Chain A
C-alpha cells in the first residue's frame, strides 16, 4: 500500500495539466449531467407554485407560491394509490422476472458444446434489443388481436375462447414484463457471458479431473464466479427500479387497462402536457423522484450490509 507523502502529492493545476486528455474525455459526460439532469432540477420549484403560462424561466420566480397544495390534491385523488401501486408493481415484476433470465441464458449458452450454435443463439436473442418500442408494441397489438392475431387463432383452433389481451387489465403487467424481457434478455446476458468466460479455465479442468458433473460445475464454479457481477448489476438495476419506461406504457395502455397500466409518468404526462397543469404535474413528478431516491439509497445500504459491495 502506498501512502501519499508530500513529496508525490502534486498541486491541482499540475494534475489537471497532466490529465488534460482524460478530463477532456470526461467533459461531455459532465456537461450532459449538468445540463440535462442538474439544471432542470430548478424547475422542481414549480411543484410548489401556481405556474403561470408563458412566463418561462422567470415564471419560476414570479409565479404564485401555493405550498403543498398540489401534493394535497394528489394524495386526495382517487388515483394516487393506484398510480403508486402500478408503478411499483410494474417495476418490481420486471425486476424479479426479468433479472434472472439473462443469467440463466448466459450459463446455458456457455455450456453449449458447439461454438457456432452458441454464437447464433446469442445473435438471435440479441437482435430484438434494437427494435424500437413502437414497433414492438405494434407487433404485440397485431399478434394479440382477438380476431386476426396469430395467438388468438391458435387459441380458437384449440377450441378456446379468444382473449382480448390488449384491453384486459389482468394481462397488462404480464405482457409488459414478458415483452420487455424478450427484448432485453439477449443483450443483458452479454455481460454475464463475459463474466463466465473470465473464469480461469484451469478451474474447469481441475473440476473435470475430479469428476464433477456439469451441474456441479455450474453450481460450484460458475455461479460463485459471477456472483460479484450479478450483485453489482442488481444494485444498479435497483437504482432504476422506479424508472418504468414511459414510452412503452404510453404506447401499450388505453383507458381499458388504466386499472393496471396507468403509472405515475403517464399520469404526469396527461396532467402536465395535455392539461397544462404544470404545477400539479411537477409536484407529482417530485414525489415520484423522492420515492425513487429513497429506493436507491436503501437498496445500496442493504447491498452493503448483506454482501459487502455497493455503489458507494
Chain B
C-alpha cells in the first residue's frame, strides 16, 4: 500500500502517455517477421504497482501479436532496477535483445563500452522512430552522443506541465481572508498564522504549517534565492554555469532562511524523513496548510482526502498557486523530456528483429494502445466518434494497470493533452494558470566526453555527498552558518568544484550551440 502511494506520482504521470491521434499510424510493414516462433527478449522494469505483474499484460501481448513475435520478458521491480541491472550490464553476459538502461548513460559508460548497438546505422529499419526524431529535434539533440551516433530510444515525459508545485489548503486561505502568498515574507506570515490559529476548529493545536518533503525544498525555495538547486548545476541568463550549493551569497541566504523556519518550528523537525503517506494522513485529518509535490497529486491524492471535495469536486481543496519570489523572481523548475532509454544489445543474435520491434513499439499505433487500450476492453466510441474510458478502468485499478496500460516497460510517450483528459477541469486550469507561466527549463542533460566523464566521476560523487550532508547540518543547526559556512565553501574548493564547473560550462556551451 505504502509503496503504491509513494510511486503514485510516477504512475500518475505514467498514466498519461501519448496524444490521442485521429488515426494512429504505423509506418512499418506488419507483421515484422513471418518466421514462426520468433521471439524478442526484453529487460525492463515491472509495473510501479507492486501487486501488478506485466508479464502477461493484454495490451503488450496485443502489440507482440500484431508484430508477429513473442516477447520474453525479464521484468524487475522499479525500486531495485538500477541495482539489479547495473551488475548485469557490467558482466555483459546473457543480456536480452532489448534493454531498458538503468540510467540515462550521460557518462557514456555503456555506449562507449560497445554494449549497445548504434541505432542510426539501422535507421532504414526504423521508420517510426526516425519520424519521431524529426518531429522532436531537441530530443534528437539530447540523444546524439559525442561520437555523433544515436544509441537509444527514449521514453518521454511532459516537461512544462504537471511538475512539482506549491499547493495550499484553500479553505484555510479563505478563512484567514488572504490570497495565496506571493513572496517569502508573506509565506512565512501565513505559516505563523497557521501555527497560532486553530484552523480546523477541532480545539487542538494540531496544525502543522508546512508539509514539505526534503527533496522538494530546493524546488520550493531555490528560485526565490536565484538558484536552480534542483539541477544543482545551472546556467544563468548569460550562459554562465553555476553550482547552486557553491553560491557563496545566495546559497547561504537560502540556508539561513530554512534554518530560520526550522528554529521557529515552521519547518518540522522530521522534514528529512517526511514521506508522502504522512502528508496524505495530514490531509485526511485536515491538519496542514501547505505542501509541495508533483501537480498530479493535487486533485487525485491530496484533495481527494477531504470530505468537502468528495461532496463538491468542482473546486480543489488543496490547489496550486504561483511560486514564491524573494530577492529573485519565483519560478518552478521543469523537467528534461527523456525519462528512460532503451538500447539494443550489440551482441544479440536477433538484432534486426529487435530493432524492428523497438521501432514498432515507438509507432503511433502502439502509443495509442498504451494510452487507450482496446475498444470494448477499455473504451467505447460514442456516436460522435469520441472515445470514452469504460467505468471499469477507474473502478478496478489493478485490472486496468495489469493490462499494461501506459506501459512503463515500453518506449511510451507522455503528452499534455493526454494528461488533461484524465484530470478534473479545475486542475487543468490550475496548471495553465500557475504552473506553465512560471516554468523554467532545468539544466539540460548532455553527454559527457570520455575525459569529462572521468573527471566528474572522480569528483562529483564526493561533492554531492558533501553537499547533501551539509545542507541538512546547516538547516537543523548542527553546523553554524556564521562560523562554518566559509569552511564549507573552502572544502568544496578543495574537492575540485572548480574543475567540475569548467566541465559543465563546456557541456553547456556544446548544448547551446547544438540547439541554436
Contact = CB atoms under 8 A, between A and B. Distances in A.
Interface of A: 51-57, 59, 73, 77-79, 141, 145-147, 162, 164, 166-169, 254-259, 262, 270-271, 273-278
B87 A254 contact: no
Contacts of A53: 89-90, 92, 109-110, 113, 115
Interface in B314-343: none
A14 B348 CA distance: 52
B492 to A, nearest CB: 10
Residue among A52, A256, A262, A271 with most chain B CB within 10 A: A256
Contacts of A162: 269
B14 interface: no
A119 to B, nearest CB: 39
Nearest to B111: A53
Interface stretch (B30-38, B246-254, B377-385, B471-479): B471-479
A166 B270 CA distance: 10
A254 B272 contact: yes
Contacts of B457: 275, 277
A53 B82 CA distance: 15
B273 interface: yes
Interface string B4-21: 000000000000000000
Interface residues of B, number: 36
Given A73-B458, A255-B471, A256-B473, 12 more contacts: A52-B113, A54-B115, A55-B92, A56-B90, A56-B92, A79-B465, A167-B273, A256-B472, A256-B476, A273-B87, A274-B83, A276-B109
Contacts of B494: 78
B113 A54 contact: yes
A30 B515 CA distance: 61
A258 B469 contact: yes
Interface in B50-106: 82-83, 86-87, 89-93
Given A79-B465, A275-B457, A147 B90 contact: no
B457 to A, nearest CB: 6
B344 to A, nearest CB: 13
Given A53-B110, A56-B93, A78-B491, A169 B465 contact: no
B86 A273 contact: yes
Nearest to B460: A275
Contacts of A55: 92, 113
Given A57-B91, A254-B272, A78 B462 contact: yes
B242 to A, nearest CB: 22
Contacts of A141: 273
B459 to A, nearest CB: 9
A232 B446 CA distance: 58
Given A53-B92, A73-B458, A255 B468 contact: yes
A167 B272 contact: yes
Nearest to A50: B454
24 contacts: A51-B90, A53-B90, A53-B115, A54-B110, A55-B113, A56-B93, A59-B92, A78-B462, A78-B491, A79-B462, A147-B270, A167-B272, A255-B469, A255-B471, A255-B472, A258-B468, A258-B469, A262-B465, A270-B465, A271-B461, A273-B87, A274-B83, A276-B90, A277-B457
Contacts of A262: 465
A167 B476 contact: yes
B495 interface: yes
B268 interface: yes
Residue among B83, B90, B114 with most chain A CB within 10 A: B90
Interface of B: 82-83, 86-87, 89-93, 107, 109-110, 113-115, 268-270, 272-273, 457-458, 461-462, 465-466, 468-469, 471-473, 476, 478, 491, 494-495
B269 A164 contact: yes
A54 B476 contact: no
A68 to B, nearest CB: 15
Given A164-B476, A276-B109, A256 B272 contact: yes
Contacts of A255: 465, 468-469, 471-472
Contacts of A169: 473, 478
A30 to B, nearest CB: 25
B241 to A, nearest CB: 22
Contacts of B91: 54, 56-57
A52 B269 CA distance: 45
Contacts of B272: 167, 254, 256
Given A146-B269, A168-B478, A77 B462 contact: yes
A275 B456 CA distance: 11
A146 B461 contact: no
A77 B270 CA distance: 31
A67 B89 CA distance: 24
Residue among A146, A164, A257 with most chain B CB within 10 A: A164
Contacts of A79: 462, 465
Task: Give me the 5 closest cross-chain CB pairs, A-B, nearest first.
Answer: A54-B92, A255-B468, A54-B115, A53-B113, A256-B472
B83 A273 contact: yes
A103 B200 CA distance: 56
